[in-house]
């Protein structure tokens, strides 16, 4: 066998072995693979990755585009790649700032409990660096919605409006569901509650990874700091939030049902509710087209100023107040 043929066979063998390794990693750590893919997509869309110091250590964020600033905050246990599907559609006409929340993704701290103070300090460090003067719109999903509300309450002069996506600052316990499943059955019950029944079912090997991550990842670290969270709950205090608030809700979410959104609608001074039928807890991933359509319509119009008004679902899958 001549040398060129040997080299070709060696190259083919290497590619086969590399493919096997990738498949094994994808099977054993699908959440990490999905996150890595999403982060590459953010870079491919034209965003750049940077870091800024904070009291908790370096905070990582992605930034790109031009125009009014849109800050996108992910949920508990997730990271900036949560927005990778919708970011390319939101970039035209906007500057996107997408942080890894403290203790998530590549943002410090790497170990230890994650109190709300640390999360807010990390967010402040990113916004102080990227938009120290310009008022911003903050879109937060789940935990990100809670943090968006708290930050806007404390810095109203720096916020044009906030968009709360299946999350907020009110206390809520989802009976029979847990974000720290101990086995595949508990993970299945929780994940199914977060998604529309008509969506593609999450495979068992992904659920196994959910169980692994729940035991040691950011959600466990948030739970370790839960005793100090009470003072950041705004039950009976929603009137303290003076900035305009858009509520965008995937109505198939059984972890945080529509009644939670309606409670915020009743208590916030300047708000309105947009419903997304057929979408669950993370609509920017489960139904990105409907989510982007609703968000762009809201951002293209004036913020809410009058009394709360519920918007019925539109035939296209989203409802937006006139």
CATH number (domain holding residue 130): 3.40.50.1820
Domain membership of residue 310 (yes or no) is: no
Token pair belonging to 243: 């900035």
Domain membership of residue 125 (yes or no) is: yes
Shortest CA distance to 206 belongs to which of 80, 83, 56, 30?
30
Residue 207 phi, psi dihedral angles, 5° rounding: -60, -40
Domain membership of residue 322 (yes or no) is: no
Dist CA 31 CA 39 (whole Å) = 12
Is 230 in a helix, a strand, or coil? helix
Domain membership of residue 88 (yes or no) is: yes
Domain membership of residue 304 (yes or no) is: no
Q: How much is the pTM? A: 0.88
Shortest CA distance to 65 belongs to which of 91, 35, 90?
91
Dist CA 78 CA 35 (whole Å) = 8
* Burial status of residue 117 (CB atoms within 10 A of its CB: 0-12, 13-18, 19 or more): middle
Expressed as residue numbers, the domain containing 12 is 3-299
Dist CA 78 CA 31 (whole Å) = 9
Dist CA 71 CA 188 (whole Å) = 31
**Sign of the C-alpha dihedral, residues 39, 45, 50, 56?**
negative
How many structural domains does the chain have?
1
Domain membership of residue 269 (yes or no) is: yes
Q: Are 30 and 14 in contact (CB under 8 A)?
A: no
Domain membership of residue 305 (yes or no) is: no
Domain membership of residue 236 (yes or no) is: yes
- Tens digits of pLDDT across the chain (322 residues): 665 544 444 443 333 333 333 333 344 579 999 999 999 999 999 999 999 999 999 999 999 999 999 999 999 999 999 999 999 999 999 999 999 999 999 999 999 999 999 999 999 999 999 999 889 999 999 999 999 999 999 999 999 999 999 999 999 989 899 999 999 999 999 999 999 999 999 999 999 999 999 999 999 999 999 999 999 999 999 999 999 999 999 999 999 999 999 999 999 999 999 999 999 999 999 999 999 999 999 999 999 985 544 454 543 443 333 2
């Amino acid at each position: 066998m001549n040398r060129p043929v040997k080299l070709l066979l060696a190259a083919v063998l290497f590619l086969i072995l590399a493919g096997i390794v990738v498949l094994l990693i994808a099977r054993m750590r699908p959440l990490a693979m999905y996150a890595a893919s999403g982060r590459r997509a953010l870079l491919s869309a034209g965003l750049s990755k940077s870091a800024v110091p904070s009291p908790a250590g370096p905070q990582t964020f992605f930034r790109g585009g031009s125009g009014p600033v849109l800050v996108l905050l992910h949920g508990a246990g997730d990271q900036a790649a949560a927005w990778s599907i919708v970011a390319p559609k939101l970039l035209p006409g906007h500057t996107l700032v997408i942080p890894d929340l403290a203790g998530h993704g590549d943002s410090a701290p790497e170990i230890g409990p994650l109190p709300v103070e640390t999360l807010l300090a990390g967010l402040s460090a990113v916004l102080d660096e990227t938009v120290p003067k310009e008022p911003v719109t903050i879109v937060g999903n789940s935990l990100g919605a809670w943090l968006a509300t708290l930050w806007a309450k404390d810095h109203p002069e720096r916020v044009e409006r906030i968009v709360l996506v299946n999350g907020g600052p009110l206390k809520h316990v989802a009976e029979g569901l847990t974000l720290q499943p101990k086995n595949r059955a508990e993970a299945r019950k929780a994940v199914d509650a977060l998604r529309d029944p008509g969506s593609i079912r999450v495979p068992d090997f992904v659920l196994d990874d959910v169980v692994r991550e729940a035991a040691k990842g950011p959600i466990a670290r948030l739970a370790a700091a839960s005793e100090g969270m009470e003072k950041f709950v705004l039950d009976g205090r929603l009137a303290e939030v003076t900035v305009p608030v858009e509520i965008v809700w995937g109505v198939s979410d059984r972890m945080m049902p529509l009644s939670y959104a309606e409670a915020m609608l009743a208590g916030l001074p300047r708000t309105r509710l947009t419903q997304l039928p057929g979408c669950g807890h993370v609509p920017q991933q489960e139904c990105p087209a409907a989510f982007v359509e609703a968000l762009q319509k809201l951002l293209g119009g004036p913020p809410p100023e009058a009394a709360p008004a519920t918007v019925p679902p539109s035939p296209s899958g989203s409802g937006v107040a006139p």
